[in-house]
Amino acid sequence: MTPASTSILIPRQPLLWLSAALLCLVPTFLGNIVVWAPLVFLCSLLAKFWMDRRDRRLRSLPLKVALSLAAIGGVFATYGSPRSVEFGVTLLVTLASLKILESHNAKDFHVLIMVGWVLCLCAFLLAEDFGVALCVLAAFVLLVGALVQFHRHSGPAGTLWPPLVTTLKLLLQALPIVALLFFFFPRGGGAMQLQFLGQPSDSVGFSGKLSPGSVSSIASSDDLAFRAEFPDGTIPSPRNLYWRGAVLWHGDGLNWDVGSGPGHAQANQRRSGIAIRQRITIEPHGGRWLFALDRPLNAPPGITLGPGRYLQSVRPISSIRRYEVLSAPEASESNLNPRERTASLRLPSALSPDVRALVHTWTATTPEPRAIVTAALEFFRTKGFVYSLSPGHYVGVDALDELLFRRKSGFCEHYAAGFATLMRVAGIPSRIVVGYLGGEFNQYGNYLVVRQSDAHAWCEVWLPESGWTRVDPTSVIAPERLYLGSLRDMQTTSVQRQPIAGSARTSSLPPGGVLSEVRQAWDTVSYAWDSRVLPFDLEGQREFLMASGLETISGMSQLLWIAAAAAFLLGAYTLVSLRRSRTPRDAVRQLYETFCRKASRVGATRSVTEGPADFAQRACALLPGEAARIQRIVSSYIALRYAPNPSRSIVQTFAADVDAFTGRST
């Protein structure tokens, strides 16, 4: 940094660019770090412009120290421990805000640009979806632009395009190197060992257990759960899109969880009917659950099958994960092993006589399990149960009674839990499956989007003739739930709405939905990002290298190759730019230089300050044999270079003359 840089003030134009870049970063922080940090950031940007107008700035050192201490104290107070990414990023954001207030000269400006780049990186640490990528890209471009603009400040003020063009050129030149590094730079194994505070598992949506009443906010959550492609082209009808997440064996009233379970699943599943292949790209949630259509047949590498046939990742899912799985909707087991039977018949600790009496009214009429199931469904259908997302809390030992006999209001989780408990009381083995139901079909990308609001819970009962059979009590209480899929839709559409047949949820979109089209298009691009760019980790890279026949190269030699390729690229750029810097002087000048070189070889050296006419005169005297040609060459040169409206045809004769010129008398 030159000493002059402390005396050069930041011109307005680059400051605007820098601010725009920083503004682009703000949305990436919203929702990922504590909300006051981006707000402080915004305020200090505004304050900077306010102060700039009035030629003020933060000067007093005690004030600066006090503000910094306040900022650090605030971050500590918010996060407590400094051992998380959020803490670090928040600290950086707040201190950057203060730097904005303080910045005044060229050095500060450069520091801010660097800070901006670091913040770009931080944004990726917090989230890496496509929206964030776009924001970061915009910020990055603007930062480079600000730097370019800053160093052009001697030029006319207010120019927008030249710096932008320079910036784009720079970035375009960087593109091959970016691609090179992306594809070939050796990836580290696994994700970075960073500690995140708010694991996405804390957020609403799917969780590994069932405790109704805690999840009514699901309905409003539009967060993505996963996306599914169907490579074979067979997409089940929307009423069969049951995405199996976990099987809950252990229930106590309305609260269910995975419990100890009956041990691992046996491979005694009969495969029948069609198998549906799905390629699923799941968002990171910090847990280990994965999803597949009811019911998965196989476990892809790194994934195990839990008791009750559900997928479970070996490692927690902390980054976007892609896997392919085969499901058979009609698969069933032939027999129930004793441990499973015990686990699926275990009764809750407390059961009221009312419940027993209710179940007894069914078992007394028929011993046939199927008939009991039908009777129970009939009970739910006819006894005035309502589907409600805000039924209030069911607490205490008589929560089940409260649901069944008094309040009669709830959503899928309540009914699944209640139904499963009733079945167990009736002696029918039952369990709860949690997952998602339905999904939104994206017509651009030809895949299904499943959101947190699609979360669902249903029952499975063991029937001797058909094995584990899916029973969804919610379907008899609120049939629309099955067709419309989303809980959110349930709130907004009337219950009388006719069930809509057809593929997934496309038909249930509001008419004239330009907005939803845009949303789908955006999601398609976003999906491409999530499924092609983000999962390109160590594994993806290895596959790519294998596919391109470079698998033998690895480790150190890979680095060397990259360095060589990058050096080659840079060398090529340098050569091109060197040539470029000479060519604008056009062919005429080059030819004249050739002529001067040739003349110099035979004793007539042009001095750099010598004009063409003077040189011609001197050269003619020195080389009388070539005098005529020299005169011709120089007069063509003068005509081309100094005369008004030079005719391009002279270039030909000029070139020919220079070519023929040897300096020796002919």
Partner 1 sequence: MRDYIDAFTRQIGEVIVGKAEAVKLAVSCLLARGHLLIEDIPGVGKTTLSQALARSLGVGFQRIQFTSDLLPADILGNSIFDREQQRFTFHPGPLFSQVALIDEVNRATAKTQSALLQAMEENRISADGITYDLPEPFFVIATQNPQHQVGTFPLPESQLDRFLMRIELGVPDRASERAMLLGMDRREILKELKPVFTMETLREIQAAVRKVHTSPALLDYLQDLLDASRQRHTTGLSPRAGLALLHGSQSWALMHGRDMVLPEDIQAVGIAVMAHRLGHDVRQPGESGRTLAEALLRTVPVP
Q: How far is the CB of 612 from partner 1 (least distance, A)?
A: 7
Nearest approach in angstroms of CB 639 to partner 1 is 9
Measured distance CA(256)–CA(209) in Å, rounded: 6
Whole-number Å distance between alpha carbons of 183 and 186? 9
**CB closer to partner 1 out of 1 and 608:** 608
In the bound state with partner 1, the residue whose beta carbon lies nearer, of 18 and 616, is 616
CA atoms within 13 A on the CB side of 199: 14
CB of 606 to partner 1, least distance (A): 9
CB of 449 to partner 1, least distance (A): 60
Query: 169: exposed, middle or buried (C-beta count within 10 Å: 0-12, 13-18, 19+)?
Result: exposed
Cβ nearer to partner 1, comparing 23 with 638: 638
Shortest Å distance, C-beta 641 to partner 1: 5
How far is Cα of residue 387 from the mean position of the Cα atoms in its chain? 35
Compare residues 268 and 600 and give the one whose CB is closer to partner 1.
600
Nearer to partner 1 by C-beta: 118 or 578?
578
Give residue 113's Cα distance to chain centre. 24
Asked if 401 and 355 count as a contact pair (C-beta separation under 8 A), the reply is yes
Name which of 308 and 612 has its Cβ closer to partner 1.
612
At its nearest, how many Å lie between partner 1 and the CB of residue 5?
21
CB closer to partner 1 out of 184 and 615: 615
When the beta carbons of 56 and 597 are compared against partner 1, the nearer one is 597
CB of 599 to partner 1, least distance (A): 15
Closest alpha carbon to 244 in 199, 294, 206? 294
Q: How far is the CB of 154 from partner 1 (least distance, A)?
A: 13
Nearest approach in angstroms of CB 586 to partner 1 is: 10
Look at strands 224-229 and 447-451 and give their pairing: antiparallel
Q: How far is the CB of 622 from partner 1 (least distance, A)?
A: 18
Question: What's the closest the beta carbon of residue 616 comes to partner 1, in angstroms?
Answer: 10
Please identify which residue in the block is written with the tokens 């257990």.
209
> For residue 506, what are the CA distances in angstroms to 230, 428, 501, 509, 617?
16, 38, 11, 6, 85
Min dist CB 644 to partner 1, Å, is: 4
Q: Alpha-carbon distance 118 to 131, whole Å?
A: 18
Q: Which residue type, as a one-letter code, is found at position 661?
A: F
Region for residue 565 given its phi and psi (left: phi exceeds 0; alpha: psi -120 to 50; beta: otherwise): alpha
**Pairing state of beta strands 386-387 and 409-410?**
parallel
Structure tokens at 601: 């070889």
CA distance 75 to 410: 41
Smaller CB separation from partner 1, 511 or 644 = 644
Nearer to partner 1, 50 or 642 (CB): 642
Query: What does the binding site for partner 1 look like in residue numbers (CB under 8 A)?
Result: 585, 608-614, 638, 641-644
The CA distance from 347 to 353, in Å, is: 14
Which residue type, as a one-letter code, is found at position 371?
Answer: A
> What strands lie across the sheet with 455-463, from one edge to the other?
292-293, 242-248, 430-437, 455-463, 467-471
Return the SS3 of 657: helix
Kindly tell me which of 233 and 584 has the beta carbon lying closer to partner 1: 584
| 3-class secondary-structure state, position 450 | strand
Exposed/middle/buried for 301, CB within 10 Å: 0-12, 13-18, 19+?
Answer: exposed
Which CB sits closer to partner 1, 155 or 611?
611
Contact 40, 157 (CB under 8 A): no
Report the side by side order of strands in the sheet with 447-451: 321-327, 276-282, 224-229, 447-451, 440-442
Q: How far is the CB of 629 from partner 1 (least distance, A)?
A: 20
- Our CB check for partner 1 shows the closer of 60 and 647 to be 647
